[in-house]
């Protein structure tokens, strides 16, 4: 049994921010020529006078957002993750994070589902980058329901927020009884054999993986972490205490992202062996969504297999003595 499909997060984004702007005249939308893809166009149709096309010039766009915020506006800045986070990173750092200005950075086409556009558009380290930025609330919703709630919360919060949004429809994890809160992780499944911690739209696949494991006699506790900052430290420690064995799973690099955050937290509060599933210090490539999930071990079946192998290896060996390989350079394979 697998979780059902929901709406695409980008649809929830366009719809929710449009609704928020109906009651809040200070909300504006800034777009870098990707509105027909990110669904900022939904906002444009509803509020044309507050939709600001900034052209293909993202560094300036983030600066304009900062200026608008000083004038009492609440800018939602929308484009693809590489151009919302990585390209204008110094503008975010100096004009938005250091000032604490009220800008919501909405990174579309997050994670692996980028329409097969390849490594330039597939950002593996946005969560690591934004989580490391002082003062930046970093949100990776699981599904369309949580996306809507997280955006509604962001509009009540005075300060910079990064929200990671997926292009394609993903599985729905939550029903309307769910309530998002920053810094609060959600226990989405109980089990005593292994703790699986995930974030973003990877969590539904981890829940599916837990069902596969259950069929093999392994009961997994699954914790969904929607905000990498603020991080639910007590929730992560309690999740580790529940089973004593922790596996993190994320749709991005394991360095500095969720895996990094969990390892940091547990080494400080509850030293625990942590296996980190995700991209292992590599960039992405062009392929279908399902091919990418297989390639990086993030499909439900591949997650289940890796967790099972990890648990079996723990029984027979102590610590793996893996030496770190040299970084893989960008050559043709």
Partner 1 sequence: MGVAVDAADIALLEDVARGIRVGIIRGVNEAKAGHLGGPLSAADILAVLYFHVMQIRPDEPDWPDRDRFVLSKGHSSIGLYAALALRGYFPVEELLTFDTFGSRLQGHPDMTRLPGLDMSTGSLGMGISAGVGMAIGARLSGLAARTFVMLGDGECQEGEVWEAAFVAARYRLDNLIAIVDYNKLQQYGWQGEGPDDRLPPAWPGELAAKWSAFGWRVLEVDGNDITAVVGALEEATVGDGRPVAIIASTIKGRGVSFMEGRYYWHTRPLTAAEFATAMAELGEPVTSPEGGAA
Distance in Å, CB of 102 to partner 1, minimum: 12
Give 38-95 as a 3 state SS string. Answer: HCHHHHHHHCHHHEEECCCCHHHHHHHHHHHHHCCCEEEEEEEHHHHHHCCHHHHHHH
**Secondary structure (3-state) at 229:** strand
CA angle 149, 151, 153 (to 5 degrees): 70
Report if residue 89 touches partner 1, rule: CB under 8 A: no
Distance in Å, CB of 263 to partner 1, minimum: 32
Of positions 22, 24, 94, 267, contacts partner 1 by CB under 8 A: 94
Report if residue 186 touches partner 1, rule: CB under 8 A: no
Report if residue 90 touches partner 1, rule: CB under 8 A: yes
Of positions 18, 38, 78, 91, contacts partner 1 by CB under 8 A: 91
Distance in Å, CB of 134 to partner 1, minimum: 12
Of positions 1, 4, 23, 71, contacts partner 1 by CB under 8 A: 71
Dihedral, CA atoms, 70, 74, 78, 82, nearest 10 degrees? 50
Burial class of residue 318 in the structure, from the number of CB atoms within 10 Å of its CB (0-12 exposed, 13-18 middle, 19+ buried) = exposed
Of positions 2, 22, 70, 267, contacts partner 1 by CB under 8 A: 70
Of positions 8, 12, 42, 69, contacts partner 1 by CB under 8 A: 69
Report if residue 173 touches partner 1, rule: CB under 8 A: no
Largest CA distance in the chain: 65
Contacts of 325 (CB under 8 A, 6+ apart): none
- Whichever of 96 and 254 has its CB closer to partner 1, that residue is 96
Judge whether 251 and 112 are in contact, CB under 8 Å: yes
Active site residues per annotation:
58
Of positions 28, 84, 206, 246, contacts partner 1 by CB under 8 A: 28
Integer Cα distance of 65 and 73 in angstroms: 9
**Secondary structure (3-state) at 311:** helix
Distance in Å, CB of 66 to partner 1, minimum: 5
- Whichever of 25 and 118 has its CB closer to partner 1, that residue is 25
Report if residue 62 touches partner 1, rule: CB under 8 A: yes
* Tokens of residue 174, six digits: 């939550």
- Whichever of 51 and 80 has its CB closer to partner 1, that residue is 51
Report if residue 199 touches partner 1, rule: CB under 8 A: no
Integer Cα distance of 91 and 72 in angstroms: 19
Report if residue 114 touches partner 1, rule: CB under 8 A: no
Integer Cα distance of 178 and 318 in angstroms: 40
- Whichever of 54 and 114 has its CB closer to partner 1, that residue is 54
Report if residue 63 touches partner 1, rule: CB under 8 A: yes
Tell me the sheet residues that pair with 104.
76, 161
Report if residue 37 touches partner 1, rule: CB under 8 A: no
**Secondary structure (3-state) at 196:** strand
Distance in Å, CB of 48 to partner 1, minimum: 13
Give me the 278-307 binding string for partner 1, x by CB under 8 A, dash otherwise. ------------------------------
Residues that bind partner 1 (CB under 8 A): 28, 49-50, 52, 54-55, 57, 59-73, 75, 90-91, 93-95, 98-100
């Amino acid at each position: 049994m697998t979780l059902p499909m929901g709406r695409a997060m980008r649809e929830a984004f366009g719809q929710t921010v449009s609704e928020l702007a109906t009651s809040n005249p200070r909300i504006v939308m800034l777009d870098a020529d990707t509105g027909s893809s990110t669904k900022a166009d939904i906002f444009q149709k509803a509020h044309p006078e507050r939709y600001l096309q900034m052209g293909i010039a993202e560094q300036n766009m983030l600066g304009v957002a900062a200026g608008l915020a000083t004038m009492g506006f609440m800018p939602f800045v929308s484009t693809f993750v590489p151009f919302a986070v990585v390209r204008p990173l110094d503008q975010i750092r100096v004009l938005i994070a250091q000032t604490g200005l009220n800008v919501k950075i909405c990174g579309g086409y997050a994670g692996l589902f980028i329409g097969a556009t390849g490594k330039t558009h597939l950002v593996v380290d946005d969560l690591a980058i934004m989580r490391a930025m002082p003062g930046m609330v970093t949100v990776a919703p699981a599904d369309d329901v949580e996306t809507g709630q997280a955006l509604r919360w962001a509009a009540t919060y005075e300060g910079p927020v990064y929200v990671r949004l997926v292009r394609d429809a993903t599985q729905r994890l939550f029903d309307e009884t769910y309530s998002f809160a920053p810094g609060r992780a959600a226990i989405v499944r109980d089990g005593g054999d292994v703790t699986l911690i995930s974030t973003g739209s990877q969590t539904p696949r981890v829940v599916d993986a837990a069902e596969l494991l259950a069929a093999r006699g392994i009961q997994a506790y699954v914790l969904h972490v929607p905000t990498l900052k603020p991080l639910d430290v007590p929730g992560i420690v309690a999740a580790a205490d529940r089973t004593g064995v922790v596996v993190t799973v994320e749709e991005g690099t394991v360095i500095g992202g969720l895996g990094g955050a969990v390892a940091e937290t547990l080494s400080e509060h509850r030293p625990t062996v942590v296996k980190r599933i995700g991209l292992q210090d590599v960039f992405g490539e062009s392929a279908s969504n399902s091919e990418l999930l297989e390639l990086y071990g993030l499909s439900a079946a591949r997650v289940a297999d890796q967790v099972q192998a990890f648990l079996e290896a723990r029984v027979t060996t102590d610590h793996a003595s893996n030496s770190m390989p040299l970084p893989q350079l960008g050559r043709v394979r």
